[in-house]
Structure 1
Amino acid sequence: MSPSKGEATTIEVDGREVRISSPGKVVFPEPGITKLDLVHYYLAVAEGALRGAAGRPMVLKRFVKGIGAEPFFQKRVPENRPDWIDTATLHYASGTSAEEVVLRDAASLAWVVNLGCLDLNPHPVRAEDLDHPDELRVDLDPMPGVAWGQIVDVALVVREVLDDHGLVGWPKTSGSRGLHVNVRIEPRWDYREVRLAAETLAREVERRAPGLASARWWKEERGERVFVDFNQNAKDRTVASAYSVRALPDARVSTPLDWNEVRDSHPERFTVPAVLARYAERGDAASGIDDPGAAGSLAGLLRLAEELGPAEKPPSAKDGSGRRSSSMPLIEIARTKTKPEALEALETWKARHPDVAALLHPADVLVDGMRGSSSLWYRVRVNLQHVPEGARPEQAALEADYDPWAGRSRPDG
């Protein structure tokens, strides 16, 4: 009998019983994928998913209200966990700590999916050594208006830079619009050194492909380029790992690829049903990522960092605050709790300024998901660089002014 939305069911995974609540709940209405379907998907690709996430503490990104609502981020492991769920205690840069889930097997994988985790967000360290990452993560994040072919061209430059410095990159779709390239490294360097190596890689990619790629941290300065997001290697940051299902209507999957198939691997091709078929036919394209001797050295990139010198810093504001002064004519439009609200506020502003809106390029509209205390909020800004100076509207009252820190302690800075 097919379980209903309201009934719980228990499945056996490698000799362990895992309770699945509301198994018939439809998580992805468009393809009709239920919660139990997601559990079975992850069990089918468990070897590959665990290759990316097992042994690593992870943040639980829980979509308890469905893909149409914002997730909340849970660092601390639930108190009522089974005794076979492993954990590790991480100490964050903020001075806080949290006992986080560490996946070890398929049963623990099914357990976190039952909590509402669609994608897996592990840290780049193993539980046995929390201070030295064994993975450098290259996140190729396209600005609006960037086509897939440009993302691929940048990925190939990334591969070239890695090859030149004795490192091997393993590509995968991000599950959204971009690409990730994971690099196994020897766990000899701390977070600061790994981030420096990643930033150096990004700067070198920009140097080799200046019209295609950007290492500029400030979004308004990137133009229609692919941002090589080196800050994903900072301490406390996590990235969706291999075979993660993303919260998009078509149930897209972050899918490992061979380099020779990257060019034709548009992200929308890799949905849950498609990846199930692909995995059954050929297995995991990243199966060799943990082979003996596969981990590389950061020595080459760190030498390049010394040759390049420090990255250029933006000018400071003239008010003595020490904050950055943008080189672009930015105005802020809205701060909202959800992305639909952000887009609605943007359309309201465009309706007020139709002549200005007509001059904006895709990359001039900046809709940013900002990490709050436990969930995302959204900031909308507009770069007026393509609007004649005399026609630029002044900063005005926000179309929406959500305060994500209301009733909470605002973080330093």
Structure 2
Amino acid sequence: MASERVTLTVVDPDAEREVVLSSPNKVIWPDVGITKAELAEYFQIVSGPFLEANGDRPVSLERFRDGVGSASAPKAEGFFSKNPPKGTPDYVDAVTVTYNSGRRHPQIVLNRPSAIVWAAQMNTIVFHPWASLASDPDNPVELRIDLDPQPGTSFVDAVPAALALREVLQEVGLTAFVKTSGNRGLHVFAPIEPMHEFLDVRHAVIAAGRELERRMPEKVTTNWWKEERGERVFIDFNQANRDRTMAGAYSPRALPGATVSTPVHWDELEGLDPAGFTVRSIPTRLEELGDAWQGMQDAPGRIDTLLEWWERDRADGLGELPFPPEFPKMPGEPPRVQPSKKVAAHWDEDGAPVEE
């Protein structure tokens, strides 16, 4: 039997477009009863600030054919779509990007409300935008820092870390913005001029993270290996890499409560409950308070001072940090092995394994 289908009329800046939504009554979040149709409606309501934050960028779609599991059931299985799938409509744009392997391929770009609703039709729940624009995908327009509470810590511990990080960034001439991750952490963004490629921006993030670590050594850490982090908030510098992304602003998360990664004002952080930001509550929040990130890109800063800090730290013996496992071996990178399992004789001075 054919599945139920409805046709939605979506208002784009240049035209009205019809988007077919199959299985509109399919429950995406069973614990709260949110359906595919309600998710599509949410995207239409928040499309303005959503596109302001995530539009005109390469974006990866995290799709869940069977929706999100409940709190009492195993986590739902999703998969990523980076390239436009067969049959992608012409109102969904694309741009050719270079991945870390050197491979080049078109990647989806969302530039209008109908494209977001199409993504919902494709069972997308989480949107992962790059830090760069489609017009210049190699040079980020944002410095992004993911503050990730480790076991034994919580969102409450991420708040003072974010506030202190804001001060660090102010000292180097950057204006910081913050959003909830939609889970336990916080994401701190600072708009920057697109003058540097991803590796330089990663080094700037590491420099800022190390400075924050000096100021809060018992509270935060840049240690890549989990066994070394302890009960601290991890400063995830590797989210600044090319093709490494985090949930975009106003993107739902694939979690039982239908939480949303939500931009907030700095004075909201103390006492904030991120679980209250959901697919159902965000439209009202936007209507009453507006977009906390409105105009974020109006006055981008520069990362020159952070890069000077990076070079200063290198001169002091603080070199490159590990890259994610799927990346090619990078110059100056330490060995990709847990410290507890490292045998010095098995690695050369460049961090490459020694062949026996």
Which TM class, normalised by the smaller chain length?
Answer: 0.7 to 0.9
Return the alpha-carbon distance in structure 2 between the equivalents of residues 254 and 302 of structure 1. Answer: 29
2:278 corresponds to: 271
Return the alpha-carbon distance in structure 2 between the equivalents of residues 143 and 75 of structure 1. Answer: 29
TM-aligned CA deviation for residue 43 of structure 1 = 1.0
2:193 corresponds to: 186
Match status 1:326 vs 2:338 = yes
TM-aligned CA deviation for residue 323 of structure 1 = 4.2
Structure 2 residue matching 1:137: 3-state secondary structure: strand
Match status 1:195 vs 2:207 = no
Match status 1:161 vs 2:168 = yes
Deviations 1:127-161 (CA, angstroms, capped at 9, x unpaired): 11111111111100010110333210100111010
Match status 1:126 vs 2:133 = yes
Structure 1 residue matching 2:189: 3-state secondary structure: strand
Structure 1 residue matching 2:281: 3-state secondary structure: helix
TM-aligned CA deviation for residue 229 of structure 1 = 0.6
Q: Percent identity?
A: 43
Counterpart residue type for residue 155 of structure 1: A
Deviations 1:190-218 (CA, angstroms, capped at 9, x unpaired): 11101100111111111110000001111
TM-aligned CA deviation for residue 85 of structure 1 = 1.4
1:284 corresponds to: 291
Matches within 5 A, 1:44-63: 44-63=45-64
Matches within 5 A, 1:2-401: 6-14=3-11, 15-68=16-69, 69-291=76-298, 294-309=299-314, 311=318, 323-328=335-340
Structure 1 portions without partners, runs of 5+: 316-321, 331-413
Structure 1 residue matching 2:144: 3-state secondary structure: strand
Structure 2 residue matching 1:101: 3-state secondary structure: strand
Query: Does the CA contact (< 8 Å) of 1:6 and 1:24 recur in 2?
Result: no
Structure 1 residue matching 2:309: 3-state secondary structure: helix
Counterpart residue type for residue 313 of structure 2: L
Query: Does the CA contact (< 8 Å) of 1:121 and 1:241 recur in 2?
Result: yes
Return the alpha-carbon distance in structure 2 between the equivalents of residues 137 and 314 of structure 1. Answer: 17
Query: Does the CA contact (< 8 Å) of 1:140 and 1:226 recur in 2?
Result: yes
Counterpart residue type for residue 49 of structure 1: F
Structure 2 residue matching 1:55: 3-state secondary structure: coil
TM-score for both structures, normalised by structure 2: 0.86
Tell me: higher relative CO, structure 1 or 2? Use CA pairs within 8 A at least 6 residues apart: 2
Return the alpha-carbon distance in structure 2 between the equivalents of residues 167 and 267 of structure 1. Answer: 25
Return the alpha-carbon distance in structure 2 between the equivalents of residues 300 and 243 of structure 1. Answer: 31
Structure 2 residue matching 1:157: 3-state secondary structure: helix
1:408 corresponds to: none
Return the alpha-carbon distance in structure 1 between the equivalents of residues 320 and 301 of structure 2. Answer: 30
Structure 2 residue matching 1:277: 3-state secondary structure: helix
Query: Does the CA contact (< 8 Å) of 1:124 and 1:135 recur in 2?
Result: yes
Alpha-carbon spacing, 1:314–1:130, altered in 2? closer, same or farther (3 Å): closer
Structure 2 portions without partners, runs of 5+: 70-75, 323-333, 343-356
Counterpart residue type for residue 68 of structure 2: I
Return the alpha-carbon distance in structure 2 between the equivalents of residues 22 and 299 of structure 1. Answer: 51
1:359 corresponds to: none
How many pairs were matched up? 319
RMSD: 2.0
